Amino acid sequence: MVPFAYPLALLGLLSMPVLTGIYLLRNRARRMPVSSLMLWQLERSPKQGGLRLDRLLTPWLFLLELLILALLAVAAASPLVPRRNQLVRTVVVLDDSYSMLARDADGVTPRERATDIVMEMADDSAQSWQFVLAGAEPAMLGRETMRETQVRRILDEWSCMSSRADLPAALARAKTFAGARGRLLVLSDQPPPQLDDQDRLVWHAVGHPLPNVGFVGAARTTQGDSDRFLLEVQNFADTPFRASLTVQIGEETKVRRIALPPGGRVALPSTTEKQRDAVVASLPTDALDVDNRVVLLPTSSPRIRVRNAVANPRLRAEVREVLEATERAAMVDASPELWISDRPGTVDARRAWSLHLLPGKDGRAFVGPFLTRSDHPLTDGLALPGEVWSATADGELPGTPVISAGNTVLLSDERTLSRLHRIHMRINPQTSTVLRSPAWPILFYNLLSWRDARRAGLAEPNVRLGQTARLTLPRGGGAVQIESPGRDAREVRAAAERFAFVPARPGVHTLRVGETEYRLAVNAMDADESNLRACGAGRFGSWIAGSAGREDYASLSWILVLLALVLLVAHQALIQNRRTRTRE
Amino acid sequence: MSTHPSNSLLAGEQRGSAYSLVLPRSAMSGAGGRRTAASPGNSLEFRDFRDYQPGDDLRRIDWGAYARSDHLAVRIYHDEVSPHADIVVDGSRSMALEGTAKAEAARFLLAFFSAASINAGCGHKAWICADGFHEIPGGTGRPGAWGTVDFYDATAPDDAFHALPPRWRRNGIRIILSDLLWLGDPLALLQMLGDGAAAVIVVQLLAEADLSPGARGNVSLVDAETGAEKRIFVDAVTERRYREALQAHQQNWFRACRQMGASFVPLTAEPIMNGAGLDALAAAHVVEVV
């Protein structure tokens, strides 16, 4: 489409129907009966046949006048054409969120409409294209190209599987690529916020407001011998929703009728026997399918194997009691994951963490203030003010101080070369009130949670799309093979024992580390993306913004004005010719 | 200006009763009339003597004069004449031009001349010229008793002569009421009108719209007789040309009438129906006030 520098001037085209109206009214003949036409035979035929010439002249004059008006109106609007000797860089921001996959009544998605828009412009050889994906974080898509076929290949990689689209961040990234002379094109299913008139930016909103019902939450927990799972469904429509929710667990399928008012949301808890199978819940097909299905994998989390090797009977009992209270420890004698002892040198912790308790004798009573490292896992939720912590102040504790009282380190964390943690705690159980405070079980709960988090395996088997999945490798670092739905398997080298992975699409992903396989369920459950009512369509902004935009274009006004002048001269010549014939 | 046709006849008769048709000398013919002709005839009124010619009626010899003078002489007496007027109205559709008083004025004049004829001691007969010359029913009597006079035809009067020629009285006065707006030689019609006539009076009746169209701009002219249409743009120049053409046409008729010894009187319809417009007839010595 040819851009115009002053598009409002096209309102001048309204003069054409006005002129047509004037001619119609003028040419409308009044009926007049006369006694005889004999006295009205007034025209004398010139030698060239003037009567016919005269009749033909009026339509020609009318057409000339119409054309002159059209040319002047278009000239005033100043149509612009790109200067051919300049390469124009266009940076395209593509909305990568999954709402771009919503199908309208014609079965067309915003992604398809956006692709068509780009391909229509891509045949211009004087343009280069660079694509920026607007997902949760901006990312480049492909390299800059001028070739139409390459543009098509790049757009085929655009999957629209992000849980959200950070368009402002992607736009900022795009501006750095575009520079002062480049053009920006945004393709999204949402209308833009306020646009800056100085930006050479065109925003194509390619969405349509559509009703949608989808999952906005799903969770599964295992407690004892039972599995609990929770499903949340929301109706993003202006009409009530009544349909069946299907839940499949292994071979068993249950159907449940749900009814939601417009905009309504419902939470559906359920409890079953502990299952090893995935729970698959699904809703009927609607505009957006990606949020109509959730998979919840089993979330069993065995207790931490703890060996209580404390010799002091009283302290031993205190430790046992607090471990049982956390319900996260399994007391074992062999192959523990956590050794607890009060005697140095008795811990065989080549493969286990350890907690070394140092009761001491005749210790000092510390009443605070206690200095705690708030970013350490052991101090999460820990409150010590008002407590008495008695401990021997002799000697240094190895490792990083975690809790100190003055210059005396009461609790430290030592990390070995094999990435195991040695926790050292000075405490006199007889004179410390800490053992009778909530801080004591919190400390042990944090220790067990921390140990659990550092176990090999996925921190959470069920995550939302866009959420980071964390995998702790069995022996710190190594190759991780990832199989994702709809993609070929790939291998990633993990430099450390913990591997963070952001799944790119929903479904069940498989991660393999050596012989061990971990399954990860990723579900699209974002209320903002499932709500399609705010989607819209339209073209906003202009690439002609200020002088920067005009430099790349040449105006055709002068050609149109010249044409209009030529036609005006022809018009006057015709009128003059007519007058001359009339006089004859 | 729409009035019942009989009202126009009655109005014309009433107005015509104040006038008398001026009879030309040559109209004094026809035996057994109410007037004494200048020509010798068989009435009882003595005129003069003349010498006996062989073949004269012996009953006319003045025997007293022979006894006194021994000379044979014959008595000559004044003749009695009966003048007649044939009044013809053009029955073409143009005489009933839409939006004008032409039809009413034509009926008015038809009745006017009938009444004026009666006042002049003339016999009269009313005719309508439409695809031939047809007598108007009751056309020898008073106009009030006539049948309808409608203008429905598209035949020009000179063509009507060939379609159904009139049976006019010889030596009568022939009055034709028409707008004269057709293409043709006036002399041809006048010759047919004047054949055996004592006098011919041509009254051209035009409407004000015929004299001056008045319309400006794009106009679609519709011929009242043929229905033909012509689209033209009427401006001051076009109007001027029309009036010049009409004037030329009237001059043409005037010259032809003068050449044939006929009277030509142009009249306008609307003033006649407004109570005026007949002065031209008196000025042309066609009628006189009684």
Q: Three-state SS across A475-506?
A: CCCEEEEEECCCCCCEEEEECCCEEEECCCCC
Is the pLDDT at B76 greater than 70? The verdict is no
CA-nearest residue to B184 within chain A is A38
**Distance between A106 CA and the closest CA of chain B, angstroms:** 54
State whether residue A50 is helix, strand or coil. helix
Q: How far apart are the C-alpha atoms of A246 and A284, rounded to whole Å?
A: 9
Nearest by CB to residue B181, choosing from A29, A30, A35, is: A35
Q: What pLDDT is attached to residue A551?
A: 66
Q: At B32, is the pLDDT very low, low, confident or very high (cuts 50, 70, 90)?
A: very low
State whether residue A470 is helix, strand or coil. strand
Q: Which helix (H) or strand (E) holds A212?
A: strand A212-223
CB contact under 8 A, A33 and B224: yes
CB contact under 8 A, B181 and A40: no
Q: At A46, is the pLDDT very low, low, confident or very high (cuts 50, 70, 90)?
A: very low
CB contact under 8 A, A29 and B207: no
CB contact under 8 A, B183 and A32: no
- The separation between CA A52 and the C-alpha centre of its own chain, rounded to angstroms, equals 72
Q: Looking at residue B168, what DSSP letter applies?
A: P
Q: Kindly give, in sequence order, each residue whose CB lies less than 8 Å from that of residue B153, ignoring residues fewer than 6 positions away.
A: B91, B92, B93, B130, B131
Residues of A with CB under 8 A from a CB of B: 26-40, 42
CB contact under 8 A, B238 and A31: no
Nearest by CB to residue A32, choosing from B206, B213, B241, is: B213
Q: At A51, is the pLDDT very low, low, confident or very high (cuts 50, 70, 90)?
A: very low
Residues of B with CB under 8 A from a CB of A: 94, 97-99, 102, 179, 181-183, 206-207, 209-210, 213, 215, 217-226, 228, 230-232, 238, 241-242, 245-246, 249
Residues of B in contact with A38 (CB under 8 A): 181-183, 249
Nearest by CB to residue A39, choosing from B98, B222, B246, is: B246
**Cα–Cα separations (whole angstroms), residue A126 to A87, A132, A187, A303, A313:** 5, 20, 21, 65, 85
CB contact under 8 A, B222 and A39: no
CB contact under 8 A, A36 and B217: no
Q: Looking at residue B31, what DSSP letter applies?
A: S
Closest CA to A211 of A529, A527, A525, A533: A533
Residues of B in contact with A28 (CB under 8 A): 218
Q: At A530, is the pLDDT very low, low, confident or very high (cuts 50, 70, 90)?
A: very high
Max mean pLDDT range (A20-29, A306-315, A487-496): A306-315
More confident residue, A310 or B157: A310
More confident residue, A461 or B4: A461
Is the pLDDT at B37 greater than 80? The verdict is no
Q: What pLDDT is attached to residue A578?
A: 74
Residues of A in contact with B182 (CB under 8 A): 36, 38
CB contact under 8 A, A35 and B99: no
Q: What pLDDT is attached to residue B82?
A: 66
Q: What pLDDT is attached to residue A69?
A: 94
Q: At B45, is the pLDDT very low, low, confident or very high (cuts 50, 70, 90)?
A: very low
Nearest by CB to residue B221, choosing from A27, A28, A40, is: A40
Q: What pLDDT is attached to residue A42?
A: 61
Q: What pLDDT is attached to residue A293?
A: 96
**Distance between A41 CA and the closest CA of chain B, angstroms:** 9
Average pLDDT, stretch B135-139?
Answer: 88
Is the pLDDT at A542 greater than 80? The verdict is yes
Nearest by CB to residue B210, choosing from A29, A35, A42, is: A35
Other Cβ atoms closer than 10 A to A566: 12
Q: Kindly give, in sequence order, each residue whose CB lies less than 8 Å from that of residue A515, ignoring residues fewer than 6 positions away.
A: none
Four-residue CA torsion sign, A254, A258, A263, A265: negative
Q: Provide the mean pLDDT of chain A.
A: 87
Q: How far apart are the C-alpha atoms of B160 and A196, rounded to whole Å?
A: 90
CA-nearest residue to A26 within chain B is B218
Closest CA to A461 of A288, A300, A583: A300
Q: What pLDDT is attached to residue B28?
A: 43
Q: What pLDDT is attached to residue A135?
A: 93
* Range in A109-113, A151-155, A482-486, B141-145 the model is least confident about: B141-145
Q: What pLDDT is attached to residue A548?
A: 53
8 A C-beta contact, residue B100 and residue B132: no
Average pLDDT, stretch A97-112?
Answer: 95
Q: How far apart are the C-alpha atoms of A205 and B28, rounded to whole Å?
A: 107
Q: At B29, is the pLDDT very low, low, confident or very high (cuts 50, 70, 90)?
A: very low
Percent above pLDDT 90 for chain A:
55
Q: How far apart are the C-alpha atoms of A286 and A292, rounded to whole Å?
A: 8
8 A C-beta contact, residue A446 and residue A381: yes
Q: Kindly give, in sequence order, each residue whose CB lies less than 8 Å from that of residue A429, ignoring residues fewer than 6 positions away.
A: A312, A314, A315, A318, A359, A435
> pLDDT digits over B80-90, tens only?
456 889 999 99
**Distance between B276 CA and the closest CA of chain A, angstroms:** 23
Q: Which two tokens stand for residue A76?
A: 């005033």
Residues of A in contact with B99 (CB under 8 A): 33
State whether residue B66 is helix, strand or coil. helix
Q: How far apart are the C-alpha atoms of A391 and A409, rounded to whole Å?
A: 10
CA-nearest residue to A40 within chain B is B242
Q: What b-and-e string marks burial along A115-131, b requiring 16 or more CB atoms within 10 Å of the CB?
A: bebbeeebeeeebbbbb
**Distance between B157 CA and the closest CA of chain A, angstroms:** 14
Q: At A472, is the pLDDT very low, low, confident or very high (cuts 50, 70, 90)?
A: confident
Q: Kindly give, in sequence order, each residue whose CB lies less than 8 Å from that of residue A436, ignoring residues fewer than 6 positions away.
A: none
8 A C-beta contact, residue A491 and residue A480: yes
> pLDDT digits over A253-310, tens only?
999 999 999 999 999 999 888 878 899 999 999 999 999 999 999 986 778 999 999 9
8 A C-beta contact, residue A247 and residue A254: yes
- pTM for the predicted model, two decimal places: 0.52
CB contact under 8 A, A27 and B218: yes
User: Torsion angle of alpha carbons A383, A385, A391, A394, nearest 10°?
Assistant: 100
Residues of B in contact with A29 (CB under 8 A): 218-220, 231
Q: What pLDDT is attached to residue A357?
A: 92
8 A C-beta contact, residue A562 and residue A71: no
Q: At B1, is the pLDDT very low, low, confident or very high (cuts 50, 70, 90)?
A: very low
Q: What is the CA radius of gyration of chain A?
A: 39
More confident residue, B233 or A380: A380
> pLDDT digits over B163-191, tens only?
888 888 888 999 999 999 988 889 988 99
Average pLDDT, stretch B97-104?
Answer: 93
Q: How far apart are the C-alpha atoms of A152 and A143, rounded to whole Å?
A: 12
CB contact under 8 A, A30 and B223: no
As to burial, measured by CB atoms within 10 angstroms (0-12 exposed, 13-18 middle, 19+ buried), residue A384 is buried
**Distance between B273 CA and the closest CA of chain A, angstroms:** 19
State residue B147 phi and psi, 5-degree precision. -80, -175
Average pLDDT, stretch B117-142?
Answer: 89
Q: Which helix (H) or strand (E) holds A511?
A: strand A507-513
CB contact under 8 A, A30 and B218: yes
State residue A150 phi and psi, 5-degree precision. -70, -35
